[in-house]
Chain A
Amino acid sequence: MMIFSFDLLINAVISGILIGGFYAAVTSGVSLSFGILDIVNIAHPAFIILGSYIAYIANATLGVDPILASIAMMPVFYVLGSGIYQIYYISFEKRGQESLRGLAFFFGLLFITEVTLVLYFGVDYRYVEASYIGPSWHFAVLDIPLRILVPCLVSLLMTAGLQIFLTRSFLGRAVMAVAQDQLALRLMAVDPIKIKRIAFGISIATASLAGAFLIVIQPVEPSVGREYIGRIFAICVLGGMGSLPGTVIAAMLLGIVESLTATFYGPSWAPAVSFGFLLLTLAVRPAGLLGR
């Protein structure tokens, strides 16, 4: 069953890196909300699936490119995200009940989104059509499917843009500051709640794009998001909670390990890898690779 060959190994590593690029897009939203803002948004995968279905609808009815459609939808997701943060702030953060009830709130959102999607679309797998889905590039022994390469490149672009925003712009620096010292921010005449609302909006906006990547890479049905919960948080923790470069490195690491597992042990074992990653990180180095 396990025939070791160099070609197989190289291909598995390359596809792991590509998938890792996509995982970076999936995780960057959580790195922002969980890592920086300390909001345990376990409903993030549900928003990603929502993004997938919107890209699917746009593609199936209007014939638009799924990734372009999801970029156009980002402002809508941003508004949705800021709205959710407002509710979260008033009902939980202000009352100091975010730990138990806030978690249950996001869990409820996750559940409602999933069941609503099941009721509307059923549990059939949906997929999209675009020019880059199907063909592959071949270099010697390498085999690079474009349906993974394109999301990976756009994802790295998005993550880089987010990193530049966080480190270079005033607003981005305010977001980083809100994580460290809210009182200091308030003394500088900046409203920390407003900054957090903007940051959470951005984190949900990334889910729109990540959703489009997901449905480009694989067919999607409503419960696919659950597989990503373990992955997302494993990457986020391993990446050092809120460090975007750390997130990219961790995402690629997980991608490579998963891809090797899938190649040499069979794809049905891949979901267990992320959990092992998560537990190992929590047990050995809770601060992550590039911990703050």
Chain B
Amino acid sequence: MIVRTPVFLLIWLALSAAVFGASVALGNDYIFFAGYVVLQYVVLSTAWNILGGYCGYVNFGSAAFFALGAYSSVAIYRFATDNDVLQMPIPVLMLIGGVVSGVVGFGMGYLTLRLRGAFFAIATLALAVVLQTLVVNWDYVGGSRGAYIIRPEQIAPIGNYIRYLFLVMLLLAVAAITIARLIEHSRLGYGFASIRDDELAAEASGVPTLRLKLVATTISGALMGMAGAPFPYYIGYLQPSSTFGLDYAVNSIAMPLIGGTTSWVGPLIGAVLLGSLQQIATVTISSAVNLLIVGFLLVIFVIIAPNGIVGLIHTYLQRKPDDFVGRRRVEAEMPGRTP
């Protein structure tokens, strides 16, 4: 069942219109606050999966790319307030955040991806620490004190501003999923898969591995930056230690790995499942405990279910009938000797 991309996009747009409509109908603004975070994780985990799942390169610095997007918005906001110019609309901020993160992703990839994969992973871990150091020392965006952003109460056609942010993130999530699926079924995606399965063999058969990996880091980084750009407007007060927090890094890795890394469905399932679970757990238990749960789920899933929930469903669908037939045959030939 291969759906063409425009049709796929239309289906998702219709679906998100339904989601938005239902959320408005429920009339509780908390749904928009919680839903925004879940959608943000859909974008982050889909972005992570483009590099991690398709190419097999682990990025531990999701928080850094996310924060780059967020802080470029803060810098622009500060510039606009200082010089009394008009504030940029969110979609433009997203584009700028995406470009900044994409460029950093490209640079990181260029320096480290020519070597073994582990170096890229380590470099991304270190990148988060260094960017945090830069932001802490950069007074223009608030330094270690943090920065305030006053978001407008209302926006023209939609009304409440949080609904607007939710809608923007919803559209970004749809865009991210469409891009991921488009990549999966294109030459690019097959190139990525060949890198993941055997980079040496791919290189030997003429796949331009370095160029493809750079494309992947750039797209992945850009999407993470786009997810981060509206964040200051959502949170109102941006602080380095929480923006660079380990929870973004661990969530954007745990969600695709728990959902399944080989297709666009996995990160979506993982993000919606884990994201909603965390929203519920944060309210009912505590935020530290729910992060611990995510950590344990990540370790358990990578050990027991290497292909995530999608993989579990696949094996369940494929093995069940075979086993059943096999057992019946054994039963018929040798009664009472069911294995």
Q: Mark B44-86, 1 if CB is under 8 A from A, else 0.
A: 0000000010001010100000000000000000000000000
Q: In chain A between 24 and 82, which residues have their CB closer than 8 angstroms to a CB of chain B?
A: 34, 40, 42
Residues of A within 8 A of B58 (CB): 99-100, 103-104, 107
CB of A275 within 8 A of CB of B303, answer no
Check if A209 is an interface residue, CB within 8 A of chain B.
no
A-B contact pairs, 5 of them (CB 8 A): A95-B306, A108-B296, A109-B299, A111-B250, A111-B294
Please report the C-alpha to C-alpha distance between residue A92 and residue B302 in the assembled complex, in whole angstroms: 9
Check if B137 is an interface residue, CB within 8 A of chain A.
yes
Check if B281 is an interface residue, CB within 8 A of chain A.
no
Please report the C-alpha to C-alpha distance between residue A97 and residue B306 in the assembled complex, in whole angstroms: 9
Q: A104-B58, A112-B292 are in contact. List 4 more A-B contacts (CB 8 A).
A: A108-B250, A108-B295, A226-B129, A283-B111
Residues of B within 8 A of A109 (CB): 299
Residues of A within 8 A of B130 (CB): 230, 271-272, 275-276
Check if B119 is an interface residue, CB within 8 A of chain A.
yes
Please report the C-alpha to C-alpha distance between residue A230 and residue B127 in the assembled complex, in whole angstroms: 8
Residues of B within 8 A of A227 (CB): 129
Closest Cβ–Cβ distance, residue B71 to chain A (whole Å): 16
Q: In chain A between 81 and 96, which residues have their CB closer than 8 angstroms to a CB of chain B?
A: 87, 91-92, 95
Check if A5 is an interface residue, CB within 8 A of chain B.
no
CB of A104 within 8 A of CB of B257, answer yes
Please report the C-alpha to C-alpha distance between residue A223 and residue B249 in the assembled complex, in whole angstroms: 14
Please report the C-alpha to C-alpha distance between residue A226 and residue B127 in the assembled complex, in whole angstroms: 11
Given the known inter-chain contacts A103-B58, A269-B137, please indicate yes or no for A230 contacting B115, CB distance below 8 A: no
Please report the C-alpha to C-alpha distance between residue A116 and residue B296 in the assembled complex, in whole angstroms: 11
Please report the C-alpha to C-alpha distance between residue A97 and residue B250 in the assembled complex, in whole angstroms: 19
- Residue on B with the closest CB to A280? B111
Residues of A within 8 A of B (CB): 34, 40, 42, 87, 91-92, 95, 97, 99-101, 103-105, 107-109, 111-112, 114-116, 118-119, 223, 226-227, 229-230, 233-234, 237, 268-269, 271-272, 274-276, 278-279, 282-283, 286
Closest Cβ–Cβ distance, residue B51 to chain A (whole Å): 11
CB of B133 within 8 A of CB of A229, answer no
Residues of B within 8 A of A279 (CB): 111-112, 123
Closest Cβ–Cβ distance, residue A250 to chain B (whole Å): 15
Given the known inter-chain contacts A99-B56, A100-B58, A286-B115, please indicate yes or no for A115 contacting B295, CB distance below 8 A: yes
CB of B52 within 8 A of CB of A108, answer no
Please report the C-alpha to C-alpha distance between residue A95 and residue B295 in the assembled complex, in whole angstroms: 22
- Residue on A with the closest CB to B132? A271
Residues of A within 8 A of B134 (CB): 272
Please report the C-alpha to C-alpha distance between residue A72 and residue B180 in the assembled complex, in whole angstroms: 52
Given the known inter-chain contacts A87-B303, A99-B56, A226-B246, please indicate yes or no for A115 contacting B292, CB distance below 8 A: yes
Residues of B within 8 A of A95 (CB): 306
CB of B299 within 8 A of CB of A112, answer yes
Closest Cβ–Cβ distance, residue B199 to chain A (whole Å): 10
- Residue on B with the closest CB to A277? B126
Please report the C-alpha to C-alpha distance between residue A230 and residue B129 in the assembled complex, in whole angstroms: 8
CB of B129 within 8 A of CB of A115, answer no
CB of B292 within 8 A of CB of A40, answer no
CB of B111 within 8 A of CB of A115, answer no
Check if B289 is an interface residue, CB within 8 A of chain A.
yes
Cβ-defined partner of A268 (8 Å) among B136, B246, B294, B295:
B136
Please report the C-alpha to C-alpha distance between residue A107 and residue B306 in the assembled complex, in whole angstroms: 15
Check if B155 is an interface residue, CB within 8 A of chain A.
no
Q: In chain B between 276 and 299, which residues have their CB closer than 8 angstroms to a CB of chain A?
A: 288-289, 291-292, 294-296, 298-299
Please report the C-alpha to C-alpha distance between residue A108 and residue B304 in the assembled complex, in whole angstroms: 14
